[in-house]
Amino acid sequence: MNSDYSYEYEYDSFYCYPNSFILKNKLNITDEKELKQAEREITSLRTAQALVERIDGKFDFEHLKEIHRFLFGDIYDWAGMVRNVNIAKGNQFCRFDFIEEQMEELLSNLKKENYLLDCKVKFDLAKRLAYYLGEINAIHPFREGNGRSQRMFIEYLSFHVGYQFDFMKITSQEMLEASVNAFNLNYTMMEQLINRALTKL
């Protein structure tokens, strides 16, 4: 286990420049820090745009892919595509060859729950959002940009149910700890954080 929860990757020539873990990108940036900075700037603008214009979808896997494509499509050719390598961050995320199956099953269950529209009590909604956020994170369907995409997905879902979800009320350290707990099927902290971040529209 990687105790500081930094990512561990299998080296591959599909995603990375030769002899490095720097992701091939449309900007042709080969310096890791410069790429991260450019990625933050571009996705911040795209995130602000997506919160105003909203990316339509049916809260299925295609919807999540479209969100990822919108946020990262200016940077990576593979934006919106399922990863084809295995990755870990403290724990091993879903094997890449099971991602489609796992995501389809998970989000078909969301559909069976009527997209949480039947949650009439705020904390009940927080509990279900915590479950879905934790499970999407455990699957980690993309090579990069999972956190930003899944947060946008959950924000959209919350809005659909009649709530504003403000992730600014949750620190990155809190989200990391809650995600680790959720990976181990302990959703308590995630539920509490989400309940804090939800406001009825």
* Residue 140: domain span: 8-200
Q: In the chain, which ranges are continuous DSSP H helix?
A: 32-53, 61-72, 99-112, 122-139, 146-161, 172-183, 188-197
Q: Are 64 and 52 spatial neighbours (Cβ–Cβ below 8 Å)?
A: no
- Note the pLDDT tens digit of each residue in 172-187: 999 999 999 999 999 9
- Note the pLDDT tens digit of each residue in 123-173: 999 999 999 999 999 999 999 999 999 999 999 999 999 999 999 999 999
Is residue 1, in this structure, part of any structural domain at all? no
Q: Are 71 and 148 spatial neighbours (Cβ–Cβ below 8 Å)?
A: yes
How many residues appear in the chain? 201
**70: helix, strand or coil:** helix
Is residue 3, in this structure, part of any structural domain at all? no
CATH code at position 43: 1.10.3290.10
Is residue 2, in this structure, part of any structural domain at all? no
Residue 62: what residue type? E
Task: Name the token pair of 162.
Answer: 């009649």
Q: What is the pTM of this model?
A: 0.93
The number of domains in the chain is 1
DSSP 8-class letter at 24: P
